[in-house]
Structure 1
Amino acid sequence: MIKTRVVYLSMAILLLLFVVMYAVLPNVGIETKNTEFSYETIVFNKNKVTTIDIEIAEEDWADMLENAAAEELKKANITVNGKKMENVAIRTKGNLSLRSVVASDSDRYSLKIDFDYYDDTQSLYGLKKINLNNNYSDSTLMREYISYELMEQMGLPTPAHSYMYVTVNGEERGLFLGVEAVDETFLANNYGSNDGFLFKPDGTGSDLKYISDDIADYTGIGLKTNEGNIDQSKFIEMIEAINNGNNIEKYIDVDEMLRYFAVNTALVNLDSYQGNMKHNYYLYEDGGVFSIIPWDYNMSFGGFGVGGGDNNQIQDNANMKAPNDAQINDKSEMKPPNNGKQQRPNGDRNQGGLNMGFGMSGDLMADSAINFSVTTPVSGTALEERPLLNALLSNDEYRAKYEGYLEELATNYLTEDYVKNITKQLALLITTYVEADPTKFSTTEQFIEAVEGENSLPEFAKQRSESILKQLSGELVVEATSQGNMEMPNLDAIGDMDIPMQRPEDFDPSQAPPFNQNGDNQGERSNGGGPMQRPDQNGGPMWPNQGDEQLKQEIVIDNNTILTVIVCFALLIVALLFVFKFKRRGR
């Protein structure tokens, strides 16, 4: 016969087990759903600014800044939101932006952090590498962030991204955009496998024009993975297909690429395959089929300048006007470089250094960007010189899909309201950090101007989406006639740009309506669930307690934990029923 105290003891044990499983285990460092990739919610939390503290030998840091163009790796310890990673590799990074900053008086370089360089078993919640982008040439600090958001909305595999505030040896470096590296981890997370071939084209062959049947002749295709098995790649077959009008569906993910080029075109992102530089994209070959991965959007929203020799003639069919002589010439938007040095800000946050260099338009609302052609969406080159895009748009069925995606973007995402929601949310989150940033390229006023007003990202979205819809309907015709590639300016000099410095009169960041990542209004501010962080008396952000910060990290409980909790709860219910019947029988 079972004694009452035995039953109650069993009940107590079951209850304790239930409490432990439900309340304790998810918070003691047990890895969460998709443990390999939990960095997406922990490191790249879009509702707060991640803190990155870099500890590096002073002589190594000084050498890295002095010889930034060398991009030499240095050893450092990195603390991310209180989690310390030792023996980590760090270096400067960039292409045109790196050279431009080297030529200026600034030392605000973008950085690449490699967590597993010295220890290939080491990662940050599954993350192997992270890029800290300095937002060069983007006084809005939002072009790249919003571009990736739109790519995500259109279902494209997109690097994780969020804002991060960086210190080096206790000294503030400022606000950067953290972007996940496109590497084996990214591929495994987004494609379920990283056994294929990852290419980052930049140079000979990056236009994807046919050269020969020897892959060695395509010296700029930038193979990043599986180098030892390159002979098994279908790269040459893909090149032949898109150049010769063969069955391209056999070699490329057509629908994905149509979505990619629709977003790129809508955003007027011309520091890309569609511009004269023919770079800033990845190709991933999996099972002989190529996908495209977006990359590097600090010059989107027309920031690279349209043209390179293109004379875009605009005809307004609604008013039945014949084509006029008005030209949107990209060269008129480019300021010639001078021999002056860019001045970076000192202690006075109202005096920001101008951040515009090679190829960049200082006017966000330039007609050449607003009315960039959606039918011939290239700049500084001819559509025939970009065979991948040409093969897609030469097919009536594919072009119709491409135009459908453009219409979806112009109607749902690249709209004034949608972009305004994002910019106001970001302003609420990061304005304090922008103010505290000691190395920023431009002023807080220039940043705030991007949120609202006549020269803002929402206004660009409004006018650009209207232009897209008019072009698709035939009401507006924009024809581009290519006249060859542009002459490259001197990269050793930085061009001056005139940028308005006034804060919009009706803008109040504290009154910005919060929203979630889908743009929906919420009932309270979204900043990691708490109030907006303010700078301390020294001007630096007031960080929350690191222990509290880690406890606030988003937890995604995996299926095994959920199943265990359910089983324990079921056992608890059965035990309660047993006790009830046991007592009724008088035992």
Structure 2
Amino acid sequence: MKHILTLLLVTSLCSFGSSQNDFYQTDNIQQIDITFNADNWKYLLDSLRFNGDELLTGDLQVNGTALTEVGIRYRDGRSFTPNGKRNGLYIDLGSKDYQGHHVINLSSALRDPSLVREVLASEIARTYFNAPAANFAEVTINGEPYGLFANVEAVEKGYLKDRFENAKGTLVTPTEEPQTIVSEECSRNVFGSLQHEESANCVAANWKLLQGDLGLVQTLSSTLASSPADLAKLLDIDATLWMLAFNNVLVNLNSYTGQYASNYYLYQPLGGKITPVLGELNLAFGSYKNDGANSSDLSTATLLTLSPDLHLNNEERPLISVILADEINYKQYLAHFRTILVEWVMSGKLENRAKALQAMISEARRNDPGQYYSPIEFNQSLTEVIGKRSRIPGLVDFMDKRASWLESQEVYIFLPPAISKVGVEGRERFSSTQLDEFRIHATVEDYPKNVYLYYRFNENEAFKMVPMLNDGEHYDGQANDGVFGAVIKPTDGQNQIQYYLMAENVKTVSFSPSHYNFEQYKTTLREVNQ
């Protein structure tokens, strides 16, 4: 008599990575106190902002922990205002660190009357793939309130070590000031799009090298242009698909998906694949309005109907057009798109979380002496358009209307395969023969075309893939009965397995568990033999 094991769902990574503690916990407001010896620190920071990358020395306390003689400057970007009341801050801890982080990055949340876009978007992203964390920080300077800021995790060695366990690879990002014309030898309007440029000078004009070698950009762009069949050897395709789906669902156009193909990173750990990493998310949810396919900014009404197929046939966005030209990649992209849409927007989770974050920071916001927006605008920011020029859409209202439109599109109409009753066959009761293999099966409905099992024997391995079959010969019941099976025999003394499933039908795919990057099924040979 056979028995079926009830499987454990194991979390192999959490949304913050494996070793982080509370500095970026979303529901904690951090306290950052800065002391400068100079009373004219605003003038000095203004001067440094205009004259290179020098830092002003100051002392720091982070949640009561003292860090002396750190370097501070105003953040780069368009939000800087000379003599401004609340310019964002970049704090370089140098050889010091706070909970493993060597940089503190404080965003002033310009063009976000809700104040929660950065934090909420980061939380959504980290549900599905590795991305920088964000929360809130109250900041004082020389004992006086300076403001409530978004505390955004910097993509630097602390982040790389935590997410990739290897901080010595190559890290690049598109330049912060996009250049329309670089020189006669360079193509126009390339920016961070990864259109291939033969000239290293052209690449250097559009990309900033943070560590390693800019040759990474030329290698990736050349592969996109000439050898797309080799992309999977070079690039983490699944991480890329998650990022692209996220950008489109949330209308995060200050990204690869938008006008300048900007505000993201590429990281290649030593011996590993290139992985894209999200940049800042302050302009997500329709606050940035140019999709890179039109010459001018889009209206809010047009942004609501941003197509899931944006740039699908656009050669100027090869990271989208080339990758999504592959049928299975496109299906996975649609599956990721649908997962984010259903789990966060259609479920009401996004609205509830946005309101909860605003409630948490309301008192700290009232104590901010330099807020860009009035209390009325803050209170209306989830449901009303704010601003006569910028016309920043109400975050929740915008996403609700976008979800209503997407309900009529193929990405939502075509149902993915339904995966259920995932299990592992155990040793027959009273049998003296010990099993030395894992006999995994699942019921898959809604016209599956293919079913795949992704597995590994320990967390340091990459997942391997094998097909699951419905032929009655893989401990899957009867042939063609809707139950699919695969048999995995461990090697080298391995006695446990972690795995997840993907099922494909004509239009799309589904995964089980849906958060498979952070959760997988798990069992051991000991359990199957009980």
Find the counterpart in structure 2 of residue 412 from structure 1: 343
Structure 1 residue 259 displacement after superposition:
0.6
Change in CA separation of 1:161 and 1:289 when aligned onto 2, cut-off 3 Å: same
Name 1:274's counterpart in structure 2.
257
Q: 1:473 to 1:249 in 2, by over 3 A?
A: closer
Counterpart mapping for 1:446-457 below 5 A: 446-451=377-382, 456-457=394-395
Aligned amino acid, residue 371 of structure 1 = T
Deviation at 1:234, TM superposition (A): 4.7
What are structure 2's unaligned runs of at least 5 residues? 1-13, 179-189, 386-392, 415-530
Aligned residue in 1 for 2:358: 427
State yes or no: 1:285 paired with 2:268.
yes
Q: 1:156-204 CA deviation, whole Å, 9 max, x = no partner?
A: 2222211001111011111000111101111110001112101112256
1:168 aligns with 2:168: no
The separation in 2 between residues aligned to 1:419 and 1:468, in whole angstroms, is 16
Secondary structure of 2:409's aligned partner: helix
CA contact (8 A) 2:146 2:369 kept: yes
Matched, 1:305 2:289: yes
2:52 aligned with 1:114? no
Residues 1:151 and 2:125 are matched in the alignment: yes
| CA shift for structure 1 position 461 | 2.2
> When the two structures are superposed, what TM-score results if normalisation uses the length of structure 2?
0.66
Give the Cα separation in 1 of the matches to 2:120 and 2:311. 20
User: What's the CA shift string for 1:50-99, capped at 9, x where partnerless?
Assistant: 1111101223343213554445310000111111110100001122222x
Residue matched to 1:134: 108
Q: Is contact 1:234-1:288 (8 Å) kept?
A: no
User: TM-score of the superposition, structure 1-length normalised?
Assistant: 0.60
Cα contact 1:184–1:194 (8 A) shared by 2: yes
Partner of 1:577: none
Partner of 2:44: 63
4+ aligned runs moved over 3 Å, structure 1: 37-40, 65-72, 214-217, 306-309, 330-333, 451-456, 473-476
Q: How does 1:222-301 map to 2 (within 5 A)?
A: 222-227=208-213, 234-244=216-226, 245-286=228-269, 287=271, 289-301=273-285
1:208 aligns with 2:194: yes
Looking at structure 2, the residues matched to 192 and 469 of structure 1 have their Cα atoms a distance apart, in angstroms, of: 40
CA distance in 2, matches of 1:472, 1:331: 26
Equivalence for 1:44:
24
Q: Is the 8 A contact 1:111 1:131 kept in 2?
A: yes
| Cα distance in structure 2, aligned partners of 1:44 and 1:411 | 26
Equivalent residue, structure 1, for 2:331 = 400
Preserved CA contact (<8 Å) 1:130 1:181: yes
The residue that corresponds to 1:374 in the other structure is: 308
Q: What is the CA distance between 1:288 and its match in structure 2?
A: 5.2
2:257–2:291 Cα contact (<8 Å) kept = no
Contact 2:192/2:260 (<8 A) preserved:
no
Deviation at 1:377, TM superposition (A): 4.8
Of Structure 1 and Structure 2, the greater strand share is in: 2
When residues 295 and 465 of structure 1 are mapped into structure 2, their CA distance, relative to the original with a 3 A threshold, is same
Q: CA deviation at 1:331?
A: 4.2
Paired residues, number: 376
Q: Answer yes or no: is the 8 Å Cα contact 1:301–1:369 preserved in 2.
A: no
Among residues 322, 327, 330, which one is paired with 1:391 in the alignment? Answer: 322
Whole-angstrom CA distance in 2 between matches of 1:452 and 1:426: 15
Alignment correspondent of 2:167: 194
What is the SS of the residue equivalent to 1:383? coil
Give 1:124's aligned residue: 98
Counterpart contact for 1:392–1:398, Cα < 8 Å:
yes
Instruction: Look up the SS of the partner of 1:43 in the other structure.
Output: helix
Q: For 1:69 and 1:440, how far apart are their aligned partners in 2?
A: 23
**What are the Cα deviations for residues 408-455 of structure 1, in whole angstroms up to 9, with x where unaligned?**
111111336111221121122100111111101111221122345796
* Counterpart code for 2:275: S
- Return closer, same or farther for 1:426/1:107 CA change in 2, 3 Å cut-off: same
Distance (whole Å) between structure 1 residues aligned to residue 314 and residue 159 of structure 2 = 31
Q: Check conservation: 1:199, 1:284, Cα contact below 8 A.
A: yes
Aligned CA distance change for structure 1 residues 39 and 181 (closer, same or farther; 3 Å): farther
| AA matched with 2:172 | F
Q: Is residue 268–residue 275 contact of structure 2 (8 Å, CA) maintained in 1?
A: yes
Q: CA separation of 1:300/1:407 partners in 2, compared to 1, >3 Å: closer, same or farther?
A: same
Query: Equivalent residue of 2:274, what SS?
Result: strand
- What is the distance in 2 between the residues matched to 1:474 and 1:163? 34
1:452 to 1:210, Cα distance in 2 relative to 1, 3 A: closer
Distance 1:469 1:396, change over 3 A: farther
Correspondence for 2:67: 85
> 1:471 maps to what in 2?
409
**Cα RMSD over matched residues?**
2.8
| 3-state secondary structure, aligned to 1:222 | strand
CA offset at residue 464 of structure 1? 1.6
Is the CA contact 1:407–1:469 (under 8 Å) kept in the aligned structure 2? Answer: no
**Which structure is larger by alpha-carbon Rg, 1 or 2?**
1
Q: What does the per-residue CA deviation read over 1:292-330, in whole Å, with 9 as the maximum and x for residues that have no partner?
A: 10011111111111456739xxxxxxxxxxxxxxxxxx5
Structure 1 unaligned regions, length at least 5: 1-33, 312-329, 334-365, 477-587
Cα distance in 1 between the residues matched to 2:64 and 2:140: 13
Aligned match of 1:556: none
Note closer, same or farther for the CA distance 1:46–1:241 as it changes in structure 2 (3 Å cut): same
Q: Are 1:144 and 1:296, in contact at CA under 8 Å, matched by a contact in 2? A: yes
SS state at 2:174 partner: coil
CA contact (8 A) 2:109 2:115 kept: yes
1:321 aligned residue: none
Contact 2:259–2:291 (8 Å) recurs in 1: no
- Whole-Å Cα distance in 2 between the matches of residues 473 and 92 of structure 1? 42
* 307 and 200 in structure 1: CA distance in 2 versus 1, 3 angstrom threshold: closer
Q: Distance in 2 between matches of 1:189 and 1:132?
A: 20
Residues 247 and 467 (structure 1), Cα distance of their counterparts in 2 relative to 1, 3 Å cut: farther
Q: Partner amino acid for 1:60?
A: W
Provide the residue aligned with 1:504 in structure 2. Answer: none
Instruction: Report the AA paired with residue 163 of structure 1.
Output: F
Once the 2 structures are TM-superposed, how far is the Cα of residue 39 of structure 1 from its aligned partner?
8.7
Three-state SS of the structure 2 residue aligned to 1:403 is: helix
Confirm or deny that 1:178 pairs with 2:151: yes
Amino acid at match of 1:462: D
In structure 2, relative to structure 1, the CA distance for the partners of 1:385 and 1:332 (3 Å cut) is closer
Secondary structure at 2:90's aligned position in 1?
strand
Counterparts of 2:133 and 2:241, CA distance in 1 = 22
SS of 2:136's partner is: strand
User: For residues 376 and 452 of structure 1, do their structure 2 counterparts lie closer, same or farther at Cα, with a shift above 3 Å needed?
Assistant: closer
- Secondary structure of the structure 2 residue equivalent to 1:384: coil
Which of 376, 382, 388 in structure 2 is aligned with 1:445?
376
